[in-house]
Amino acid sequence: IPVDDFDLVIFGGTGDLARRKILPGLYRRYCSGQMPDQARIIGAARGDHDADEFRSMVRDAIKEFSKKNDCDDDKIEAFLKQLDFVSIDARGDKGWPELKGLMRDGVVKAFYFSVAPSLFGDIAERLHLNEIADAQSRIVVEKPFGRDLESAKALNKDLAKHFEETQIYRIDHYLGKETVQNLMAIRFGNILFEPLWNSQYVDHIQITVAETVGVGGRGEYYDKSGAMRDMVQNHLMQLLCLIAMEPPARFEPDSVRDEKLKVIRALEPVDPHHIVRGQYAATESEADYRTDAGDPRSRTESYVALRAMISNWRWAGTPFYLRTGKKLKARTSEIAVVFKDAPHSIFGPDAGRHRNILSIRVQPNEGITMQVTIKEPGPGGMRLIDVPLDMTFAEALGEEAEDIPDAYERLIMDVIRGNQTLFMRGDEVEAAWAWTDPIIQGWELRNDVPKPYDVGSSGPEDALMMMHRDGRRWREIK
């Protein structure tokens, strides 16, 4: 179904994110017929390019970052005709009248700020002063949304000078991932899980986002952030919210976001014994974090594992273990709900310990596995074993799984449709920083040195010990 006609301006249109994700994503939406033929995409950046140079850059980006079978030369050329470019100075006067001249009336106007947060306020102000944006326009802002509560508040304030909250789309691309939305479908579309979804039946929950990539190439940004700011404050926090929130009354922006906010506000401060920072160390063939980051003394963490507790009626006493890291053993994102033991075993002490585990694989190999206990086949008496009840979305959905849009495609189309459900509200982002700030401040105060872990491992030993002390085990990263 095509969306309404639109003019989308991408500030930072020649930057890395635009080339890797935004423009190839828009191209895929074009190919699927969702982008109207008149819709226009205007790249805006500091460089002195003209529209043809921009188109040629986008052509290369599509070929480099789209799946091979998406790249039909005729289609690419037709898509490129819908593109334009303006060379602009975010902090000066250059380019703004030209941009105004390119914008049409009577269509959805969206402005994607794919630039450093320090420019958000300047761009918002110039869009307003030059009367380019109006009360119906939408702005899209990328993470990082600040680096602490104070800076996030300042950003919210700057944007609020010229735009209403209903016009601001703060992206967390994890919310655009198909399986992440599936979390809500699984929880609230089935009667099976919700009655068990609480501390009475759930022993604990593990949220893992493991990556094999390092920070090479983005060392300068990453070294000032670290895993806590780069991943936990946003992506892992969003996963935690969707798993833990109360059922919203409707799948609508404020119903969902109100419930997520309540979860963040109910988080207890993290106990320092239940948090581990790590930094990847060199192996024979791989450089260490400090080399990648270009600072031989860096104390920035490339790994975090922590135990979060939610003080509310549903979750009191049930730990949520979160971990994320770079250069780990495998690329895998998973949410595992580990249920409690059955209250009584009719099979006697020899039957061993058996638990149901619901595992939701966010990526790769998206799907769900339920670990269930059955009788071991054979005549050897009543012996129990755990087996997976496995569902891979690609298998279950067949070819349709191929057409699943990537996170950015989905989110950009939501902006054009005016649907904020999968975007973070200002108060949500602030509440998330209010929870992470004391953790980061504690590290800074103590001059904390992250624990080394080998490239290709599962993370630092201390993270294993942290779980061990709680009488639990991390799930294998594989």
Token digits for 230?
């780069």
For strand 367-375 and strand 357-363, is the pairing parallel, antiparallel, or unpaired? antiparallel
95 vs 459 by CB, closer to ligand BG6? 459
Indicate the residue among 3 and 61 with the shorter CB distance to ligand BG6.
61
Q: At closest approach, how far in Å is the CB of 300 from ligand BG6?
A: 12
Which CB sits closer to ligand BG6, 230 or 430?
A: 230
6-11, strands of its sheet edge to edge: 83-87, 40-45, 6-11, 108-113, 138-141, 168-170
Q: Could you list the active site residues? A: 235
In the complex, the smallest distance separating the C-beta of residue 143 from ligand BG6, rounded to whole angstroms, is 6
Tell me if 143 is assigned to a ligand binding site. Answer: yes
Q: Is the peptide bond before 253 cis (omega within 30 degrees of 0)?
A: no
Query: Which of 7, 203, 211, 292: binder of ligand BG6 (CB under 6 A)?
Result: 211
- x/- contact string, 165-204, with ligand BG6 (CB under 6 A)? ----------------------------------------
> Any bridge partners for residue 85, and if so which?
43
Residue at shortest CB range from ligand BG6: 230
Q: Which helix (H) or strand (E) holds 239?
A: helix 237-244
Closer residue to ligand BG6 (CB): 84 or 172: 172
Closer to ligand BG6 by CB, 59 or 410: give it: 410
Q: How far is the CB of 361 from ligand BG6 (least distance, A)?
A: 12
Is 12 labeled as ligand-binding? Answer: yes
Give the separation between CA 279 and CA 450, rounded to whole angstroms.
6
Q: Which residue's entry shows tokens 């495998």?
A: 330
Does the annotation list 230 as a binding residue? yes
Query: Count of residues binding ligand BG6 (CB under 6 A)?
Result: 2
Smallest CA-to-CA distance from 165 within 433, 411, 427 is with 427
Structure tokens at 127: 């869009």
List the structure tokens of 188: 């609230």
Q: Is residue 46 part of an annotated ligand binding site? A: yes
* Minimum separation from the CB atom of position 55 to ligand BG6 (A): 27
Compute how many other C-beta atoms are within 10 angstroms of the C-beta atom of residue 12: 22
Annotated binding-site residue? 177:
yes
Nearest-approach distance from CB 20 to ligand BG6, in angstroms: 10
Q: Among 140, 292, 306, 154, which Cα is nearest to 221's?
A: 292
The three-state secondary structure class of 233 is helix
C-beta closer to ligand BG6: residue 230 or 414: 230
Q: Which of residues 64-123 bind ligand BG6 (CB under 6 A)?
A: none
Least Å distance, CB 142 to ligand BG6, is 9
| Distance of alpha carbon 218 from the chain centroid | 18
Residue showing tokens 């109910």: 266
DSSP for residue 18: I
Question: Among candidates 271, 208, 269, 270, which has minimal Cα distance to 240?
Answer: 208
15 is in an annotated binding site: yes
| Residue 195 DSSP label | G
Q: Is the peptide bond before 144 cis (omega within 30 degrees of 0)?
A: yes
**What is the closest distance, in whole angstroms, from the C-beta atom of residue 182 to ligand BG6 in the complex?**
15
Does 262 appear as a known binding residue? no
Any known ligand binding at 326? yes
The annotation status of 211 as a binding-site residue, yes or no, is yes
Nearer to ligand BG6 among residue 203 and residue 230 (C-beta)? 230
- CA-CA-CA-CA dihedral for 243, 248, 250, 255, to nearest 10: -110
For residues 213-252, which are near ligand BG6 according to CB under 6 A?
Answer: 230
Side chain identity, residue 9 = V
The CA distance from 17 to 110, in Å, is 17
Cross-strand partners of 110: 8, 138
292 in contact with ligand BG6 (CB under 6 A): no
Q: What is the dihedral of CA 362, 368, 370, 376, to 10 degrees?
A: -110
Annotated binding site for substrate: 173, 177, 211, 230, 326
Residues lying near ligand BG6 in the complex (CB under 6 A) are found at 211, 230
**Residues tagged in the binding site annotation for NADP(+):** 12-19, 46, 143
